[in-house]
Amino acid sequence: MSFDRSKIPAWRPGYRFQYEPAQKGHVLLYPEGMIKLNDSAALIGGLIDGEHSVATIIVELDKQFPGVPELGEDIEQFMEVARAEHWIELA
């Protein structure tokens, strides 16, 4: 089954994406704890706003990192993991 890039990701209620100086990086805060995101996940997470589609996020990151052949697939994979872990909703 192919990934639907027209879906719009949004952080689930109770989840907050932010930069955490103590962690020296971006984190995802939620009621039970915190997840420290790697640099790639932080770049994707920074574009999740409940308004832009996965396709738009791919275009935006492609502008920042042109010529990365697996970029779209990597972003799809992040979205799949984030949905499976219940960090985001895809509408």
pLDDT tens-digit series, residues 19-48:
999 999 999 999 999 999 999 999 999 999
Cβ atoms 33, 87 nearer than 8 A: no
Residue 2: its pLDDT value, please? 80
Asked if residue 1 has pLDDT above 60, the reply is no
Burial degree of 56 (CB within 10 A; 0-12, 13-18, 19+): middle
pLDDT tens readout for residues 50-82: 999 999 999 999 999 999 999 999 999 999 999
Q: What is the dihedral of CA 60, 68, 74, 14, to 10 degrees?
A: -30
Of 40, 15, 39, 36, nearest to 27 by C-alpha is 36
pLDDT band per the 50, 70, 90 thresholds, residue 91: very high
